[in-house]
Amino acid sequence: MAKIMILMSDTGGGHRASAQALQAGFIERYGDRFHVEIVELWRDYTPWPINQLPKSYSPIVNRGVWFWKFLWDASQQPWVVNPVLNLVGLFVRDTIRRAFVDHQPDLVVSVHPLMQQLALTSLRDWRKDVPFVTVITDLGTINPLWLFRKADRCFVPTDEAYQQGLCAGLRADQLVMSGLPIRPIFAHSTLAETELRWKLGLAEDRLTALVVSGGEGMGPVATIAHNLAERLAMDGRHAQLVVICGRNEQLRQDLSKRDWPIPVHVHGFVENMAEWMVASDCIVTKAGPGTIAEALITGLPILLSGFIPGQEEGNVPYVLDHGVGAYSPNPTEIAAIVSRWFGPEQDKLSDMAQKAKALGHPQATFAIVEEIARLIT
């Protein structure tokens, strides 16, 4: 059984989600032909204090966003990043090499921008003949750290990322435009909208807005939901809201207690996001790459309510330029936009839904695992 090692780190939910999507894709396509292991390389195979990086990501992004933006901008500059990587490399080269000795992979996949140069250097210290591939898990803003020319393949999520790859000096035969890897269920969703509304306890005849904000339910979700419900009621829209709070239990409890002027369905972390998306008519979300990719596949117009500076910033023009949604960080304006979409602008809503479906990549995960399988068989 060939062994595939996926390198990730829990800095934000997306890298683990992509790693798990690929693992699920391998199992669905090939059964037990491959043994796929997901390894938190940074936490488990770098020395203290470097191994504390994953833990510090959330506090920095949530409470010191200016500092995160500073780090992100610095990471775009080769004159800053190269000396830092060289210095860190002195401390982690041997410990990361131990990861490969421990796991004995036949092929290595990296789904994290910090695990290109450092990981590949250590991999080559161990073996010269083990293929190394990069799967980029950001959509619009591709940090140069992702685009490492020594990778055997680099899977990119968008045409824009493909062009950035070429500009960074990767060859056309290294780059594969596959789409972002997402859970295989999104490729198989066969239930119709009305069936799902019935199954999920939603009114079948009401226009439905889905409000989410990543796996952690971060940002002003409560204010957005409140403004949206009030505005849809005031404008007399025959509508309902679904608010998915993710792991933000406080938010779920808070919203569950409220009286709402229209039907509002509040949930914590859901495992069946594909169903909620298919059952909805539009989504209001922060600019997370996973949620955007899933919304496109399910043909949902996307109203972006915010973004994490740096890695999510480029997702805003991506959505706007492709005509699949809008952006506003202002809850009052968000409410007005959705109300228009559900009122005089329903044709625009249908047009965006069609464009979203055309832009999505439901087969991305399978395209990636099939190409990887070809590299080791």
- 170 touching ligand UDP, by CB under 6 A: no
Residue from the set 8, 17, 41, 200 that interacts with ligand UDP by CB under 6 A: 17
CA nearest to 182, candidates 61, 288, 313, 258: 288
CA nearest to 49, candidates 112, 6, 91: 91
- 14 touching ligand UDP, by CB under 6 A: yes
144, 78 Cβ separation under 8 angstroms: yes
Mask for 192-231, x = binds ligand UDP (CB under 6 A): --------------------x-xxx---------------
- Helix, strand, coil % over all residues of the chain, rounded to 5: 50, 15, 35
Q: What is the spatial distance between Cα 376 and Cα 191, in angstroms, rounded to a whole number?
A: 36
What's the min distance (Å) between Cβ of 130 and ligand UDP?
29
Q: What is the spatial distance between Cα 246 and Cα 250, in angstroms, rounded to a whole number?
A: 10
E strand or H helix at 20: helix 14-30
Name, in order, each residue with C-beta under 8 angstroms of 97's C-beta and a sequence gap of 6 or more: 122, 123, 125, 126
- 288 touching ligand UDP, by CB under 6 A: yes
What's the min distance (Å) between Cβ of 51 and ligand UDP?
21
- 106 touching ligand UDP, by CB under 6 A: no
Closest-by-Cβ residue to ligand UDP is: 288
Nearer to ligand UDP, 175 or 283 (CB): 283
- 309 touching ligand UDP, by CB under 6 A: no
By rule CB under 6 A, what count of residues binds ligand UDP? 18
- 343 touching ligand UDP, by CB under 6 A: no
What's the min distance (Å) between Cβ of 357 and ligand UDP?
17
What's the min distance (Å) between Cβ of 290 and ligand UDP?
3
- 291 touching ligand UDP, by CB under 6 A: yes
- Using DSSP, state whether 19 is helix, strand or coil: helix
- Residue 177 dihedral angles phi and psi, to the nearest 5°: -85, 100
52, 42 Cβ separation under 8 angstroms: no
Residue from the set 113, 165, 289, 301 that interacts with ligand UDP by CB under 6 A: 289
- 362 touching ligand UDP, by CB under 6 A: no
313, 329 Cβ separation under 8 angstroms: no
Q: What is the spatial distance between Cα 159 and Cα 165, in angstroms, rounded to a whole number?
A: 10
Name, in order, each residue with C-beta under 8 angstroms of 79's C-beta and a sequence gap of 6 or more: none
- 6 touching ligand UDP, by CB under 6 A: no
Nearer to ligand UDP, 290 or 314 (CB): 290
- 294 touching ligand UDP, by CB under 6 A: yes
What is the SS3 assignment for 353-373? HHHHHHHCCCCHHHHHHHHHH
Mask for 267-286, x = binds ligand UDP (CB under 6 A): --xx--x-------------
- 131 touching ligand UDP, by CB under 6 A: no
Residues that bind ligand UDP (CB under 6 A): 12-14, 17, 212, 214-216, 244, 246, 269-270, 273, 288-291, 294
